[in-house]
Structure 1
Amino acid sequence: MHLGKFTAKYLIPIGIVVFLVLFVIGIKFFVIKVGVDQVGVRTIIWGVKRGLVQKDYGPGWHRAISGIDQWDLYDSTVQTLELAKHPSHQGHDERQEAAIRTADDYDVSADLIVKYQIKKGHAWKLREDLGVGERYKIIVENEIRDIARSVLGKMTERDLYNPEEKRKRADAFKVQLITRLSDRNVDIIDVLILEMRFDPQLERKIKNIKLAELDNVLNISKALAAEERGITQTIDADTEAIAQKIIGDKERSITVLDAETTKQTIEILAEADKYLIQKKAEGDLYKEQRVAEGNLLIKQAQAEGERLRREAISGMGGDIIVAMEAARNMNLADLNVSSLDINLLDVDEMATRFGVSDIKGKLRVDTKTFTQIQEMLNQPKSTDAAKPK
């Protein structure tokens, strides 16, 4: 009973330990892990199908039985080969700069950076062609140095400090490197020429050539500047002449416009005066005509009145007028009249006494006729005051 409890108590931990040991042994001897930045190549060394498996294995866990499977792992990322005098990283990848002999027989060293990558799906073929290891890196470096000597060695001292020429050489470098390594299962990403260093003799020569070119450029620039100053002075003189001409034309135009304006003003004033005189003459003529017509009407009225007066005086009315004049000139204050003999209210009798008579010896004068005769007698003799002015 106690033995059973003891067995049950320690059986589970022992089982877990045995499982972990078997799991570790299985991982170590039966599987392999390919990293995310790696590609695996498998070779079957024992079994029915022996030899290199023509397939690349990507990241993950794969069968790797010891004594049956052999694995080779390669870098699947973009790799950098730096051939420089002072590389940016230290270690086993350190390289010396590329040595070049130019077409002018000068020694030049170049710092190069080449980006490359194993072709996708061709890692097994790289293993088949070159065997185990990283021999492909040595091949890439040798090809780079050889192409650097052939491509960059064609440059002359003038090309060495020409940026455009360096870019052309880098492009030609990349094309040749791609062509050569296409059968080596390697893809060239890019080629960059960092720096080119010359020996002291060539550097002095290039410096002298560069200074001579700069002096030539400076002299040309001075000549162009002098020429431009002459052109500028000519332009200034031409501009000043044009400005003076414009000012003169402007003043002449103003004078001409002023004269034309004055002439037009005088003509307008003359026309206005002429119109005013004409209208004034027409007004005076019209006034004289109206005055003459008025005077004529006055004369005609006076003549007609005189004629009527004469007719009135030549007839029976003349006696009445004489009687009226006598009566007007009578001073009643000094006259004694008997109301028994004379009735002052009897107009007919009074008219008869003043000399007015008719065929029958008595004239009847109505009040209306008497009033008209009296008004005619009261009119002034002269009508000069009634004339229009």
Structure 2
Amino acid sequence: MHIGKITAKYIIPIGIVAFIAAFVIGIKFFVIKVGVDQVGVRTIIWGVKRGIVQKDYGPGWHRAVTAIDQWDLYDSTVQTLELAKEPSRLGHDERKEAAIRTADDYDVSADIIVKYQIKRGEAWQLRQDIGVGERYKIIVENETRDIARSVLGKMVERDLYNPEEKRKRAAEFKIQLTERLVPRHVDIIDVLILELRFDPQLERKIKNIKLAELDNVLNKSKALAAEQRGITQTIDADTEAIAQKITGDKERSITVLDAETTKKTIELLAEADKYLIQKKAEGDLYKQQRKADGNLLIKQSQAEGERLRREAISGMGGDIIVALEAARNVNLADVNISSLDINLLDVDDMATRLGVSDIKGKLRVDTKTFKQIQEMLNQPRGTDTGKTK
């Protein structure tokens, strides 16, 4: 019973260890990992179908049974071939640059950089046509050196220090190298010519030629500067004359405009004074005419009032006026009147008693007419009793 408990206690750890061991053995003998910067080519070495599988394997885990599958891994990123001097372990520079002989028989060494990449989906063809390992890199370098000799060898001493010529040769270099490596399943990304180094004799010759060219350019520049200086002085003189002319024209224009403005102002003021005087005269004339019209209306009204007064006095109205005057002159305080004989409220009777009579002996004047006559009599002489229209 005790032995059974001990056995159950160690079953789980033993199982875990066995699983890990099986996983490690499986990874080692049954699968392979292709990295993110790699491409895999699988070759079946035992079985019914043997040979290279016509397919590129990307990053991840793939079957790799020992004694059945053989795998070759290639760099899938952009790679660099640099042909330049490199320091070696022995303490001196290892010459890897491209050696060139120019068209005019000068030895030149060129530092060249080539960026290239295995074509996508053609790694298995590269393995099939070129072989295993990095043989394709040797082919890229050999082709680069060969094309460098053919393309850069066409240059002469004047081309060696001409940047534009170097760029043109680099473009031609890229085209030819791309054509050479298409069957090798390699893409050329770019070609750069960094530096061209010459032997001392050629370098001195180029330096002297360059100095002579610079002196020639300098002399031409000095002559051109002198010519331009004369042109500049002429332009300055012409500019000064034009500026003075513009200033004079401006001052004259200002004077003319000032005179015209003053004249226009005087004319406007004169017209304004004339208009003011004319309107004032018209106003005075209108005032006198309206005043004369008013006086005429007053005179006409006075005459009409006098005429109406006379008509009133010449008729029955005269009797009424006399009666009113008599009534006005009566001092009631000194007169004793019997209310039995005289009715003071009977207007007709009172008027008859005061001397107003008609054919029947009765007053035939209504109260409104009587009041108007009384008001007319109360008016002082010479005032207008009529209404002015």
TM over 0.5: yes
- How does 1:39-58 map onto structure 2 within 5 Å? 39-58=39-58
How has the CA–CA distance of structure 1 residues 257 and 10 changed in structure 2, closer, same or farther, with 3 Å as cutoff?
Answer: closer
How has the CA–CA distance of structure 1 residues 193 and 87 changed in structure 2, closer, same or farther, with 3 Å as cutoff?
Answer: farther
Q: Which residue of 1 aligns with 2:164?
A: 164
- In the superposition, the TM-score normalised over structure 2's length comes to 0.62
Contact 1:82-1:95 at 8 Å conserved across structures? no
1: CA distance, partners of 2:185 / 2:216: 51
Q: Which residue of 1 aligns with 2:235?
A: 235
Contact 1:113-1:194 at 8 Å conserved across structures? yes
Q: Which residue of 2 aligns with 1:370?
A: none
Deviation at 1:238, TM superposition (A): 3.2
How has the CA–CA distance of structure 1 residues 80 and 31 changed in structure 2, closer, same or farther, with 3 Å as cutoff?
Answer: same
Once the two structures are superposed, residues 89-131 of structure 1 have per-residue CA deviations (whole angstroms, 9 ceiling, x without a partner) of: xxxxx87111111111111111111110001111111110111
The letter for the 1-side match of 2:67 is G
2: CA distance, partners of 1:261 / 1:7: 126
How has the CA–CA distance of structure 1 residues 5 and 210 changed in structure 2, closer, same or farther, with 3 Å as cutoff?
Answer: same
2: CA distance, partners of 1:241 / 1:29: 98
Q: Which residue of 1 aligns with 2:126?
A: 126
The letter for the 2-side match of 1:30 is F
Once the two structures are superposed, residues 287-314 of structure 1 have per-residue CA deviations (whole angstroms, 9 ceiling, x without a partner) of: xxxxxxxxxxxxxxxxxxxxxxxxxxxx
Deviation at 1:66, TM superposition (A): 0.7
Q: Which residue of 1 aligns with 2:11?
A: 11
SS at match of 2:195: strand
2:215 maps to 1:215:
yes
The letter for the 2-side match of 1:128 is Q
Q: Which residue of 1 aligns with 2:184?
A: 184
SS at match of 2:77: coil
Deviation at 1:233, TM superposition (A): 2.4
Deviation at 1:69, TM superposition (A): 0.7
Deviation at 1:21, TM superposition (A): 1.5
The letter for the 1-side match of 2:7 is T
Deviation at 1:242, TM superposition (A): 4.3
Gapped regions of structure 2 (runs ≥ 5): 89-93, 268-389
Q: Which residue of 2 aligns with 1:322?
A: none
Q: Which residue of 2 aligns with 1:62?
A: 62
Q: What is the RMSD computed on CA atoms of the aligned residues?
A: 3.1
1: CA distance, partners of 2:103 / 2:132: 40
Deviation at 1:209, TM superposition (A): 1.0
Once the two structures are superposed, residues 185-225 of structure 1 have per-residue CA deviations (whole angstroms, 9 ceiling, x without a partner) of: 00001111111111111111111111111111111111111
Q: Which residue of 2 aligns with 1:315?
A: none
Contact 1:45-1:67 at 8 Å conserved across structures? yes
Deviation at 1:6, TM superposition (A): 2.4
Q: Which residue of 2 aligns with 1:199?
A: 199
Deviation at 1:11, TM superposition (A): 2.2
2: CA distance, partners of 1:82 / 1:169: 17
2: CA distance, partners of 1:39 / 1:110: 33
How has the CA–CA distance of structure 1 residues 261 and 111 changed in structure 2, closer, same or farther, with 3 Å as cutoff?
Answer: closer
Q: Which residue of 1 aligns with 2:96?
A: 96
How has the CA–CA distance of structure 1 residues 250 and 142 changed in structure 2, closer, same or farther, with 3 Å as cutoff?
Answer: closer
1: CA distance, partners of 2:68 / 2:5: 44
How has the CA–CA distance of structure 1 residues 253 and 42 changed in structure 2, closer, same or farther, with 3 Å as cutoff?
Answer: closer
- In the superposition, the TM-score normalised over structure 1's length comes to 0.62
2: CA distance, partners of 1:261 / 1:54: 100
Once the two structures are superposed, residues 259-308 of structure 1 have per-residue CA deviations (whole angstroms, 9 ceiling, x without a partner) of: 9999x99xx9xxxxxxxxxxxxxxxxxxxxxxxxxxxxxxxxxxxxxxxx
How has the CA–CA distance of structure 1 residues 35 and 252 changed in structure 2, closer, same or farther, with 3 Å as cutoff?
Answer: closer
How has the CA–CA distance of structure 1 residues 185 and 45 changed in structure 2, closer, same or farther, with 3 Å as cutoff?
Answer: same
Contact 1:83-1:98 at 8 Å conserved across structures? yes
Count how many residue pairs are aligned between Structure 1 and Structure 2: 264
How has the CA–CA distance of structure 1 residues 10 and 213 changed in structure 2, closer, same or farther, with 3 Å as cutoff?
Answer: same
Q: Which residue of 1 aligns with 2:137?
A: 137
SS at match of 2:153: helix
Q: Which residue of 2 aligns with 1:115?
A: 115
Gapped regions of structure 1 (runs ≥ 5): 89-93, 269-389
Contact 1:31-1:65 at 8 Å conserved across structures? yes
2: CA distance, partners of 1:9 / 1:251: 118
1: CA distance, partners of 2:198 / 2:246: 65
How has the CA–CA distance of structure 1 residues 20 and 95 changed in structure 2, closer, same or farther, with 3 Å as cutoff?
Answer: farther
SS at match of 1:96: coil
Q: Which residue of 2 aligns with 1:283?
A: none
2: CA distance, partners of 1:17 / 1:243: 102
- How does 1:273-352 map onto structure 2 within 5 Å? none
How has the CA–CA distance of structure 1 residues 251 and 64 changed in structure 2, closer, same or farther, with 3 Å as cutoff?
Answer: closer
Deviation at 1:13, TM superposition (A): 1.9
Deviation at 1:54, TM superposition (A): 0.8
1: CA distance, partners of 2:258 / 2:15: 126
The letter for the 2-side match of 1:192 is L
SS at match of 1:214: helix
1: CA distance, partners of 2:240 / 2:138: 76
Deviation at 1:16, TM superposition (A): 2.0
The letter for the 2-side match of 1:153 is G
